[in-house]
Amino acid sequence: MTTDAVAIDTAPVDLRAAAAIEAAEARAWADMYAAAPADWAASVGLGSREIGGALVLSWATTARRYFSRAIGLGVGRPTTEGALDEILEGYREAGITMFLLQSLPHCRPAGYEGWLRERGLEPFDVQDRVVRDGRRPAWRQYVAREGGEIVAARGMTSAPTAPPGSAWTVPSPG
């Protein structure tokens, strides 16, 4: 058996590519949140809205930062202190204390990180993005529940390239 090495381009993307990546992620998350049953979404404080060109996700009962965050803030277009304050106020009003406001290399204006610090926010985590084409044939998403609560989530594929009777799973974010 031979294995061919695959080179991964790790060069930073330009602003246009970063904005396209953020927009694609925002569309996917908006669609996922919109697909939630309305009564369940209301009972857990699940919602999304656009503020300053960013998609702002809220999930009040999860206490997981990844599900209450702003996608694309300052990347698709420069943000403002007013947009930042509106996002923070929305989280305060919803009782959400665990959320993410990303600071990407492409966030604009230059003073964006200073605005975050002025509001008492500090860096929490570092993440990388892995980008591939958008076609994901045969992929499905699943959740496991225990006592009615979601305790795990996974994506699974049984793609045509998989050996017969096999499937792969990957952890879902959060």
Instruction: Give the domain ranges of the chain.
Output: 14-123, 137-174
| CA-to-CA separations, 168 to 2, 132, 155, 157, 172, in angstroms, rounded | 21, 17, 8, 6, 13
pTM comes to: 0.72
Give the pLDDT confidence score for residue 174 in this predicted structure: 47
Q: Residue 21: what pLDDT?
A: 86
pLDDT above 80 for 127: no
Q: Which residues are bridge partners to 171 per DSSP?
A: 154
Q: What is the pLDDT of residue 1?
A: 47
Mean pLDDT is lowest, of 5-9, 27-31, 94-98, 165-169, for: 165-169
CA neighbours closer than 13 Å in the CB half-sphere of residue 103: 14
Q: Are strands 149-157 and 168-171 parallel, antiparallel or unpaired?
A: antiparallel
Mean pLDDT value across residues 38-44: 95
> pLDDT band at 11, cuts 50/70/90?
confident
CB atoms under 10 Å from CB of 101, counted, come to 23
Rounded to an integer, what distance in angstroms lies between the CA atom of residue 159 and that of residue 111? 45
